[in-house]
Amino acid sequence: MTGIKIIATGACAPKKVVTNDDLAKIVDTSDEWISQRTGMSERHYVSENENHTWLAEMAAKQALERAGIPKEEVGVVIVCTVSSDYFSPSTACLIQGRLGLSNDIIALDVGAGCSGFIFGMETIRSLMMARKAKYGLLIGAEVLSKKMDMTDRSTCVLFGDGAAAAVVQLSDSMYESVIGVDGDEEMIHIKSPDGLIYMDGQGTYKFAVATVPKVVERVVKQAGLTYDDIDHFIFHQANLRIIESIAKKVKQPMDKFVVNIQKYGNTSAASVGLALEEAMAKGEVKPGEKILMCAFGAGRTWGAVVLEM
């Protein structure tokens, strides 16, 4: 299978940091209640001079600068999001214009909830193969602070804003993927045109701890590997208890799991990318290592990718 090689990553988070104590001033909650149930300590919210497109642009610029490639050789741009500034045009089209990329390009947004970055990786891989593109730009970006009901303590404490980007190219190195959808309308949703986030927390937790181990097992088996062969597990940062539960089920130590939920909260389609970028920036993920990325989200979507860095 023709796969994906990640050349470089970038990230951008809003300057405004909102702590658990900050939220306790406006909703009936506490730092202890949030941290014990989710592992979250703080998250970032966009301010007046920041928006979704800006976050995506800054993350993309950083990734391109680190990659050191000619901008005109980017042939596909995919932005994974459920909270863009416009219904139309797509954020991907705006990024093409702001970065001055070639206009002989495919640029589109992918909406798969918190599974977005994984769905985006499969989408960009397929389009790059079809277009024979040399490089692709994959971005996950969300401003969920604008989609929250601040009177609902079960959801408003969970979500944050941020963006992550990856410059990728096609590669013959190891790559396997598993993608799935169950068509659920009620577990998590943001109803148009101006709806707020609704989430059945218990239902989402049960779905995650039941589904993710099966998806992980399947993708590892497809790759002809064992769990011990995986150097790093990079999961959607939805809840620390979910990650810990999955680690126990696959019998792997937590130090193999990249965790930054305490800093960003749940950033939906940006979540996996932000965790990947941070691990790469710290030098924790090295060339030649095998990583497994996995996410689950609204629509009851799920996806996992195993690849070699």
* Host H or E run for residue 163: strand 161-171
Q: Is 80 a catalytic residue?
A: no
Given the residues 189, 236, 239, 294, the one annotated as active site:
236
Tokens (6 digits) for 5: 């090689």
Contacts of 198 (CB under 8 A, 6+ apart): 155, 188, 189, 190, 191
CB atoms closer than 10 angstroms to residue 114 = 31
Q: Is 236 a catalytic residue?
A: yes
From CA 65, how far away is CA 204, in angstroms rounded? 38
Angle (CA) 11-13-17 rounded to 5° is 155
138-157 exposure pattern, b = at least 16 Cβ within 10 A, e = fewer: bbbbbbbbbbbeeeebebbb
Contacts of 143 (CB under 8 A, 6+ apart): 46, 51, 52, 55, 83, 161
Identify the residue whose tokens are 């305490």.
Answer: 262
Nearest to 136 by CA among 174, 94, 101: 101
64-76 exposure pattern, b = at least 16 Cβ within 10 A, e = fewer: bebbebeeeebbb
- CB distance 77 to 106 below 8 Å: yes
Given the residues 114, 156, 189, 232, the one annotated as active site:
114
Q: Is 266 a catalytic residue?
A: yes
Question: Which residues are annotated as catalytic?
Answer: 114, 236, 266
